[in-house]
Structure 1
Amino acid sequence: MKDREKLIRYFEASGNGEQARRMLDLAEQVVAGKPYRVTEFMSPAGLVIADAIKANLPQLRVASEGGYEGAERLRVAFIERNFQGTVDFGVQALKISWDPRFRLLTHRDVLGSLMGLGIEREHFGDIIMQNGGAQLIVDATMADYVKQNFTKIAMVSVSVEDLPLSEILPKEEKIKEIRTTVASLRLDAVASSGFSLSRTKLVSSINAGLVQVNWQEAKGPAQEVKEGDIISLRGRGRMKIEAITGTSRKGRIGVYLKRFM
């Protein structure tokens, strides 16, 4: 692929250069004769990279799978354009159960305990929290290891069993609707309103690499955002710019935000 290094340099600017390199390696294996190749689990930023690769390698198709409709973390497949077989994404679901009377466990508790087993983050997808349990999307090759070794979360005993993908319950997210006005569509202006943070603190978070726009690290406080963009702040969740609602007589811009709690 003649533009390989150019494409990698482009994504290096947003902190995704190594991911782009790995994905290009898989895509080039398909060009060389493999019917398809599948990535590890990744954030939706992976779809942006996949689309850029596909634009340079039109002999490929791209598909994705996260275990259920609306999944955030996905596995992406590069597929030879004329391949008519079934793509095995290697995705499996597990049900994790515990007694909720002992302690209110959080997503962070589950994630931390899984990684404490030595499992890399790219080997599992979404963690869907429920009352007294969670549903976990995992690389099928890791499922048995998780079932055998994942026995406690923060000193609370847990049990793990297989769960058919058809029985996954989509995660329930609390949504806070925010209608406000901003002086401009700069990232720091919009995000500080959406996350209820001072602009100074928001700028510090951006400079520390804690803010992403469409799952890619923010370029800076002055980055322009637009309708449909997803802004996430580590530790505070994410929000979507649902609509730009117009400009007031004083020149302020109306925005309608949805913050996912």
Structure 2
Amino acid sequence: MEKDVLFKKRMTELSKKAYYRGILTFSDFLDLNEQTMLQSLSLKDTGVSVKLWGGYETAERQMAAFVPDAFCCEEDYPLSCLRIQPLNRKFSDKLTHRDYLGAILNLGIDRSKIGDILMEAESACVFCHTSMCDFLIEEICRIRHTSVKAERITEITDFPVPRREELSGTVASPRLDSIIALAFGTSRSSMLPFIEGGKVFVNGRNVVSNGYALKDGDIISVRGKGKFQFGTVTNKTKKDRYHVVLYKYC
């Protein structure tokens, strides 16, 4: 609880600084819990709006920009993207998201300075605070037994976006527990601990009701499982089941 209080105090201070100085202020990368807490703060009448960005539209970890109402310039987030890839792909290990993140954090970098990590076929793209960019390029040279190099992606238009695969199936009802069970190929009962344990987020907001009704286009994140977008209900079967389409992020 003390950690949550300190976080809210910090966000309020950034908001006040933006308002009184008439400048943009930015947070570090916020996880989904922190984004939910930020959205719960009463900042609407402070003369400051909050905008979130993590390098691409559906990023899970995002920075908050506190923008004074009179500010008319585009937000320039202190965010960079690095591509980390093996020096010799023929002899490289099969590296996972956990491998890349672990190697970065082992350098002593705080998790709040690192955004999403998007996996590619033989490399990974890491969103990070711009202040960490040169350090990572210099220091990240080995992951497990694989020698790697990091290069900065200089053009925002070249930033990666996550790959998605389409899934479809039938559910008894288009409610949260049924849909996430379909998305991750498991039972509704096995997903209940995730929902009740506060590990499920819809559009960045924590949802603890298994009967929550999803809307077309909702982004659902389940900690420890992954992320997907709810497409739509296409039709109802003769057995009164709902045929739905989902888009699972790879």
Distance 1:207 1:201 in 2: 11
Q: 1:239 to 1:92 in 2, by over 3 A?
A: closer
Instruction: Say yes or no: does 1:149 pair with 2:139.
Output: yes
* 1:213-254 deviation digits (Å, cap 9, x = unpaired): 223333132333333322222333222221133555654444
Structure 2's unaligned 5+ residue stretches are none
Distance 2:7 2:113 in 1: 14
Paired-residue identity, % = 28
Match of 2:209 in 1: 220
Instruction: Say yes or no: does 1:160 pair with 2:136.
Output: no
Instruction: Report the more deviating stretch, 90-99 or 18-27.
Output: 18-27
Alpha-carbon deviation of 1:140?
1.3
Structure 1's unaligned 5+ residue stretches are 1-11
The structure 2 residue matched to 1:40, chosen from 18, 28, 46, is 28
Alpha-carbon deviation of 1:123?
0.6
Q: 1:96 to 1:249 in 2, by over 3 A?
A: closer
SS in 2 for 1:158: strand
Alpha-carbon deviation of 1:81?
1.7
The structure 1 residue matched to 2:84, chosen from 84, 96, 106, is 96
SS in 2 for 1:56: coil
* 1:136-193 deviation digits (Å, cap 9, x = unpaired): 22111112222232221112121223330346342351413213232x3432222212
Would the aligned equivalents of 1:185 and 1:226 in 2 still touch at CA under 8 Å?
no
Would the aligned equivalents of 1:180 and 1:254 in 2 still touch at CA under 8 Å?
yes
Task: Report 1:45-64 matches (<5 A).
Answer: 56-57=44-45, 59-64=47-52
* 1:93-114 deviation digits (Å, cap 9, x = unpaired): 3232213322111222111211
Match of 1:236 in 2: 225
Distance 1:220 1:119 in 2: 35
Task: Report 1:47-196 matches (<5 A).
Answer: 56-57=44-45, 59-68=47-56, 71-85=59-73, 87-98=75-86, 99-101=88-90, 102-166=92-156, 168-182=158-172, 184-196=173-185
Instruction: Say yes or no: does 1:27 pair with 2:15.
Output: yes
Counterpart residue type for residue 67 of structure 2: I
Would the aligned equivalents of 1:54 and 1:60 in 2 still touch at CA under 8 Å?
no
Alpha-carbon deviation of 1:37?
0.8
Size of the aligned set, in residue pairs, is: 247
Instruction: Report the more deviating stretch, 247-256 or 34-43.
Output: 247-256
Distance 1:208 1:127 in 2: 24
Q: 1:242 to 1:79 in 2, by over 3 A?
A: same
Q: TM-score, normalised by structure 1?
A: 0.77
Q: TM-score, normalised by structure 2?
A: 0.80
Distance 1:166 1:141 in 2: 17
Distance 2:183 2:21 in 1: 48
Would the aligned equivalents of 1:187 and 1:221 in 2 still touch at CA under 8 Å?
yes
